[in-house]
Amino acid sequence: MKKIQINSSATIFENLSELPKEDFDLMHCAIEARRKAYAPYSKFNVGAALLLNNGKIMTGNNQENAAYPSGMCAERVAIWKAGSEFPDMIVKKIAITAASSETEVNKPVGPCGACRQTLSEYEINQKQPIEIIFMGEIGQVVKTESLLSLLPFSFDSSYL
């Protein structure tokens, strides 16, 4: 028996304006996308923006449904939109932001487990890390250097 240590690190920025320019600009695209979210049930609007290494930015937002489980998260809308348009894409980074009409979202909102799993497939295939940058509506911004650093012991195609 042995115990192992799992390390992952994140950079915390005190607010949006501390971000490097490329990340700041990408987060603004995510904010624009968030404003167009369709979230009449949860009132929790999420926006995501991906920067591809061809320079293209692809955005997405959550799309809810009266049959609740039929809705979809912003991150998966964005990455599937990107993957369907650019099947050979390399994703450099993704910015994510969330805001609610019910409460002030003032702490960073990380991607849900299903979105982490979905993003991990792309990170593994492209053999290059995807930086994840996430925030609420205001307040701190978290940046991690890869998706897999957020998802230790993840499931992948090697098990199949």
Residues within the interface to ligand THU (CB under 6 A):
39, 42, 44, 46, 62, 64, 71, 73-75, 111-112, 115
Residue 3 φ then ψ, to 5°: -100, 140
Nearest approach, Cβ of residue 17 and ligand THU (Å): 24
Has 145 been annotated as catalytic?
no
Are the CB atoms for 94 and 49 separated by under 8 Å? yes
By beta-carbon proximity to ligand THU, the closer residue of 44 and 160 is 44
By beta-carbon proximity to ligand THU, the closer residue of 7 and 36 is 36
Are the CB atoms for 95 and 21 separated by under 8 Å? no
Nearest approach, Cβ of residue 140 and ligand THU (Å): 17
Are the CB atoms for 155 and 117 separated by under 8 Å? yes
Nearest approach, Cβ of residue 10 and ligand THU (Å): 16
Q: Position 122: which residue type?
A: Y
By beta-carbon proximity to ligand THU, the closer residue of 17 and 146 is 146
By beta-carbon proximity to ligand THU, the closer residue of 51 and 109 is 109
Among candidate residues 75, 85, 102, 104, the one labeled active-site is: 75
Distance in angstroms (rounded) separating the CA atoms of residues 21 and 38:
28
Distance in angstroms (rounded) separating the CA atoms of residues 44 and 159:
35
Distance in angstroms (rounded) separating the CA atoms of residues 56 and 40:
29
| CA distances to 29, 45, 109, 136, 141 from 100, in Å | 18, 6, 12, 9, 17
Nearest approach, Cβ of residue 1 and ligand THU (Å): 35
By annotation, the residues acting in catalysis are 75
